[in-house]
Amino acid sequence: MIGETITTFNEIQQFLFGFHNLTHLTLHIRGSADQLANGNYWETCSTIIRLRKFDFIFEFEHPFVDSTRVISQIFNSFSTSFWRDSKKWYVAVTTHNIYTISYFNEQLYIPSTSLLLSTSPSDHWFYSKVKRIKIEKNISSINLNHFHNLETLDLSEESIILSIQNINQFTHLRHLIIHQAVSNAILGNILRHNPHINHLTLSQNDFKQLIPLQNIHCLHLQDLIKITSRTQMTALCRVFPSVKRVFVHLNSVQLLSQIIDDLHHLENGIFHFDKIIKPISQEWLKENTRLDDNTSSFTYRNEPNRFLLWINNSVSTKSIANNSYNF
């Protein structure tokens, strides 16, 4: 259950009443801390008692004023033998929410200055579950050395990158996200020394001075980066020659044909345009791109202001296309 609807424990309990054979449950709900953030309540629900796995995020309608006292009460209610010994469902509590750490394993962790308590067996266990982290500029310092299983690192600005010590230590890191302009020297240095990073998301950058980065297979250029000239496109394809998936904003279909031809490993792309363009046809793709040489099959989809394309480069059959592909 996801959204802004306010939910109570009684509503959830009533909803679950008929699910006698339920073994796994995931909840993402919003409501009053008094209603949701009481572990003793959930222990009385017969459906919850029978579960093998229970993952949740309870977002509080209003953050706490007396945060220390309330968080302590919540923490104690989820620290009983039922939660920690019998079920081994460990939770983290902040002034804004409470969540099971196993579910949080797949969520985006945003460090904050608010108090956080965890019922996890140890701090090491807690940090080992963090795979995605976003660091905002209002966080003065954070020791990333703890997060040894980190897969996605989301940074707001270049200064945060400079403050991170031993960024090359994250052997599991695959996706780097940077929301503000970053110098080519810093970006190039990070990617050269972290060849395991294969997914890059940028909001601002000039690619002309970067050396080719062979390890990037997925490239996401956000709204502020718009490719408006062949020179820009040439630089992009030179720097990221191994890209298989691309998300990019273009200002003409001519640039679309260039990126398809110059990215020889491209498998799928989402191409946004500032204005509505005439639907791109199978015939146009065959006449204006490499997709006419019978070495790859492709399918595509036209949508308002964007074009989606999937390419299979591993076959040598007659090219096919489907303008009404659904996914």
Q: Any idea where the domains of the chain sit in the sequence?
A: 1-124, 222-327
Residues 156, 154: Cα–Cα separation, whole Å: 7
Q: Which two tokens stand for residue 227?
A: 């490719």
DSSP, residue by residue, 174-221? -EEEE-S---HHHHHHHHHH-TT--EEEESS---TTPPP-TT--EEEE
Q: Say what the pLDDT of residue 4 is.
A: 63
Q: Say what the pLDDT of residue 70 is.
A: 83
Contact predicate 91/99, CB 8 Å: yes
According to DSSP, residue 86 is labeled I
Q: Say what the pLDDT of residue 282 is.
A: 92
Query: What's the N-to-C CA distance of the chain in angstroms?
Result: 23
3-state secondary structure of 116: coil
Reported for 103-106, long-range contacts at CB under 8 A and 24+ positions apart, including other chains, are 103/26, 103/55, 103/56, 103/57, 104/57, 104/129, 104/130, 105/129, 105/130, 105/131, 106/131, 106/132
Q: Say what the pLDDT of residue 153 is.
A: 87
Residues 170, 18: Cα–Cα separation, whole Å: 45
According to DSSP, residue 269 is labeled E
Any idea which residue has 């956000």 for tokens? Answer: 222
Write down how long the chain is. 327
Per-residue model confidence as pLDDT tens for the chain (327 residues) = 444 678 999 999 999 988 989 999 999 999 998 899 999 999 999 999 999 999 999 999 887 766 778 888 999 999 999 999 999 999 988 888 899 998 777 777 777 655 578 899 888 888 888 888 888 765 555 677 778 888 998 887 777 777 666 666 678 889 999 887 777 777 877 887 788 999 999 887 677 777 888 899 999 998 888 899 999 999 999 999 999 999 999 999 999 999 999 999 999 999 999 887 889 999 999 999 999 766 678 999 999 889 999 998 765 443 334 444 333
